[in-house]
A and B are shown apart, each in its own frame.
Chain A
Amino acid sequence: MNEQPSVSEQLYDQFDVILKDLYRRTDAECVLLVDISGQLISTEGQLRQGDPVQVAALAAGDVAAMAELSRQIGERDPDGSFLHEGERKSLYLFNVDDSFILIVVFRSSRPVGLIRLFVRRAAERLHPLTDQFEQIMGQPVPVPTKEFSAGLATELEKAFDL
């Protein structure tokens, strides 16, 4: 196994710092950072109900759909962000430069204005990291080919119980 690229580790550390700060300021149940295609990057806090991986996939679909809906009604530069206000829990999704989605799950008693404000601030801090993230995405993974292929075959046998 090769040494891991330190640039990735540093990037993830920066994500975590931003998420931790957002989590603390919003007093949220959970804060998630997702890439625009729906893959979960990082979380802070814990969902009391639900699977973060599924929340990530659904949020990406919703953000893309909301951006398209906005375009349909004539918005020029829709960001695809939206708020769901529930009876007990609410959800705020925010599209950051079409690279990331910030998701905040919070108690409905929290003032929505504050949530929006802190999410926008977090998005501003994420903004300079988007280019770096795009570069890392899709890069080949440095693992020994033979070992990985054999391991994959074994794991697939286990997964599909063949």
Chain B
Amino acid sequence: MFVNWKLREINLKIVYYGPALSGKTTTLERVHAKTNPNMRGDMVSLKTRGDRTIYFDFMQLELGEISGLKPRFNVYTVPGQVYYVGTRKLVLQGADGVVFVADSQKHRLDANVESARDMVKNLRTLGLDPREMPIVLQCNKRDLDSIAPVPVMRRQLGMTQFPTFKTVATEGVGVFDALKTIINRVASKAQNQI
């Protein structure tokens, strides 16, 4: 986070993290499509020909003035595929909050766990304390068959303490609640109680 007092802007960074094909890009695409065009920038997506995220997706959410300051949320997704570990780390740099997008299908539990461990490790490497970082869990693909119960997912991911949302990103179900929650938590952390 940093505040540009000259422009009276608070700049905050939110990152969607999670395993490959869990729905991070789809979530951001839904958010972008449903956000008031006057309050967001274009979405940048760096994808392979196969439509997989190779670098990151990015959009800026520009809210109106609140208490004399204009909040700007820079929202990113990381590439989920295992071998893009370096890219995930650099996107996570300077993050103020994370939405962890887990794939609810039972056969993806291991991939979710591996990604959650990778996130914690990367946060620590960057000098960010995972216990202090605002995080919300998005259990995605709740419309599919053979999905794991949410309490099991939370427990296996070690995320029982985080707000959790059942989502269907392809239809936009739950994704705004998850985003609003992370925004509120990030903003609360940024504020000074007076």
Is B90 an interface residue when CB atoms closer than 8 A count as contact?
yes
Is A35 an interface residue when CB atoms closer than 8 A count as contact?
yes
Is B130 an interface residue when CB atoms closer than 8 A count as contact?
no
Q: Which one of A38, A141, A144, A159 contacts B36 once the chains associate, using CB atoms below 8 Å?
A: A159
Q: Are A148 and B1 in contact (CB under 8 A)?
A: no
A residues 100-158 with Cβ under 8 Å of B? 136-145, 147-149, 151-153, 155-156, 158
Q: What A residues does B184 contact at CB under 8 A?
A: 149, 152-153
Q: Are A61 and B67 in contact (CB under 8 A)?
A: no
Q: What B residues does A140 contact at CB under 8 A?
A: 189-192
Is A18 an interface residue when CB atoms closer than 8 A count as contact?
no
Is B39 an interface residue when CB atoms closer than 8 A count as contact?
yes
CB closest chain-B residue, reference A162: B176
> What's the dominant secondary structure at chain A's contact region?
helix
Q: Are B2 and A39 in contact (CB under 8 A)?
A: yes
Q: Are B10 and A141 in contact (CB under 8 A)?
A: yes
Q: What B residues does A8 contact at CB under 8 A?
A: 3, 5
> What's the dominant secondary structure at chain B's contact region?
mixed
Q: Are A39 and B63 in contact (CB under 8 A)?
A: no
Q: Are A57 and B58 in contact (CB under 8 A)?
A: yes
Q: What B residues does A53 contact at CB under 8 A?
A: 41, 60, 74
Given contacts A138-B2, A143-B192, A145-B194, contact A57 B44 (CB under 8 A): yes
Q: How many residues of B contact A (CB 8 A)?
A: 52
- In this complex, the member of B44, B60, B67 whose beta carbon has the largest number of chain A beta carbons within 10 angstroms is B67
Q: Are B11 and A54 in contact (CB under 8 A)?
A: no
CB closest chain-B residue, reference A58: B44
Q: Are A142 and B34 in contact (CB under 8 A)?
A: no
Given contacts A8-B5, A138-B1, A145-B194, contact A156 B69 (CB under 8 A): no
Q: What A residues does B58 contact at CB under 8 A?
A: 54, 57-58
Q: Are A159 and B39 in contact (CB under 8 A)?
A: yes
CB closest chain-B residue, reference A35: B2
Given A51-B42, A61-B55, 16 more A-B residue pairs with CB atoms under 8 Å apart are A4-B5, A16-B6, A37-B13, A37-B95, A53-B41, A53-B60, A68-B90, A140-B189, A141-B3, A143-B66, A143-B69, A143-B191, A145-B193, A147-B67, A152-B187, A153-B184
User: 13 A-B Cβ contacts within 8 A?
Assistant: A35-B94, A36-B94, A41-B4, A42-B4, A58-B44, A58-B58, A60-B93, A145-B191, A147-B66, A148-B67, A152-B184, A159-B36, A160-B35
List residues of chain A with CB under 8 Å of any chain B CB: 1-2, 4-5, 8-9, 12-13, 16, 35-42, 51, 53-54, 57-58, 60-61, 64-65, 68, 136-145, 147-149, 151-153, 155-156, 158-162
